[in-house]
Amino acid sequence: MSPEPPQKIVDAVAAAMLKAGLRPFEPRRGLTNGHLQTIVGNYLPRPPFHSTAVAETVEVDPLDGSRVVCFCDWQPVAVRADRLTVILVHGLEGSSQSQYIRGLAARALAVGCNVIRMNMRNCGDTDELTPTLYHSGLSADVGAVMRHYAGQFGLERVALIGYSMGGNLVLKLAGEWGSAAPLSAVATVCPAIDLAAGSDALHEPVNRLYERHFLRGLMRRYRRKAAIFPQVFKIDGVGPIRSLRQFDDTIVARHCGFRDADDYYYRAASARVVDKISVPTLIIRAEDDPFVRLVPETRAALHANPHILLVETRYGGHCAYLSRDRGDDIHWAEASVIRYVMQFAPAAQAADGSNGS
């Protein structure tokens, strides 16, 4: 568990949460264990998700023709440009169909936002759309999606919401973009800011179940890529992969232009640029998150940036945050990030509705 922060930081965070309309997190009874929160949060049934989303491929790298698939729900043309647009970015081995992404989309639609559910490269069964792998440093892909739709519809306000690996991507982009329009706000849940620390945490004995889960998915994907692009990816010679760090060292670094895993973790981590974030940003993370870690130097940089609200809760697990509230409000983090970004919607839209609960 992290050391207790100074009281002045605790008081400042509490005041900022109150101003932003965010309630403190109280875990659901019996779920004060990070592993239980994580596992139950992943499998808890949800209400049906109703969407009329239009699927579109967006080119994110003209050099190699890489494309991603986005599912878009648009407000009527007359108000579309003025409404807040949220771009939702999933985590490692997730997709636009992940439960938390669908939950966020439903909340954002209910408060009158345009919603873009972005698949990272290869995710959501799109392996054939790019000759590359995906990794934690591809923040420019998020920027390309934002530029594409802002140019197409004249969007005035865009908020980025990312979970876990997606959280690192949107924070990295925010640090690289500064206050460039139309970026208006960022909100993240359990972002993998310090990549090396998180990778090593996954290899701890207590977390090997999660690591094996991720590795199975990543290796299945690598075999699919090798079948589609045999001239690029080779199965022979890869050998057994027994850790995420080994996967990143053997496969990601080799195919994505990094010297090794350490070079990848350093260059791809948003921790390097969080001091440059210049738009309002919410970071939610749980102290009992089993494998996403935050090193003291990064925590200090986050607290030192006046644009960032870092909310660290005692409980919550990894991206779970199942609360004592009833109904769909059990998902505290989803409700919180929508409440937060709605502060940056047009006054008429915000008044119309909705607080995201």
Checking if the pLDDT of 347 tops 90, the result is: no
Cβ-based neighbours of 176, under 8 Å, separated by 6 or more: 139, 143, 273, 276
Mean pLDDT of the chain: 94
Give the ranges where 126-207 is alpha helix by DSSP (H).
139-153, 165-177, 195-202
Rounded alpha-carbon distances, angstroms, from residue 181 to 39, 150, 155, 174: 38, 9, 9, 11
Per-residue DSSP letter, 346: -
The 10s digit of each residue's pLDDT in 287-334 is 999 999 999 999 999 999 999 999 999 999 999 999 998 877 899 999
Structure tokens at 135: 């990794």
Share of the chain above pLDDT 70, in %: 97
48 pLDDT tier (thresholds 50, 70, 90): confident
pLDDT at residue 7, as a whole number: 81
343 dihedral zone (left: phi>0; alpha: psi -120 to 50; beta) = alpha
CB-neighbour burial class of residue 91 (10 A; exposed 0-12, middle 13-18, buried 19+)? buried
Mean pLDDT of 111-124: 97
Beta bridge partners of 189: 163, 284
Return the SS3 of 87.
strand
Rounded alpha-carbon distances, angstroms, from residue 78 to 56, 134, 154: 21, 36, 12
pLDDT at residue 1, as a whole number: 54
Per-residue DSSP letter, 252: I
Checking if the pLDDT of 279 tops 90, the result is: yes
Rounded alpha-carbon distances, angstroms, from residue 65 to 57, 60, 342: 11, 8, 35
The 10s digit of each residue's pLDDT in 22-42 is 899 999 999 999 999 999 998
Share of the chain above pLDDT 90, in %: 85
Measured between alpha carbons, how far is 301 from 266 in angstroms, rounded to an integer? 16
Of 94, 74, 89, 187, nearest in space to 140 by CA: 89
Q: Which of the two residues, 19 and 143, has the higher pLDDT score?
A: 143
How many helices (H) and strands (E) in the chain? 14, 8
pLDDT at residue 227, as a whole number: 97
354 pLDDT tier (thresholds 50, 70, 90): very low
pTM of the model: 0.95
The 10s digit of each residue's pLDDT in 146-161 is 999 999 999 999 999 9
Mean pLDDT of 60-88: 97
Measured between alpha carbons, how far is 125 from 298 in angstroms, rounded to an integer? 34
Taking each helix axis from N to C end, the angle separating 195-202 and 208-228, rounded to the nearest 10 degrees, works out to: 110
Measured between alpha carbons, how far is 171 from 159 in angstroms, rounded to an integer? 11
Domains observed in the chain: 7-194+270-353 (3.40.50.1820), 196-268 (no CATH)
pLDDT at residue 2, as a whole number: 60
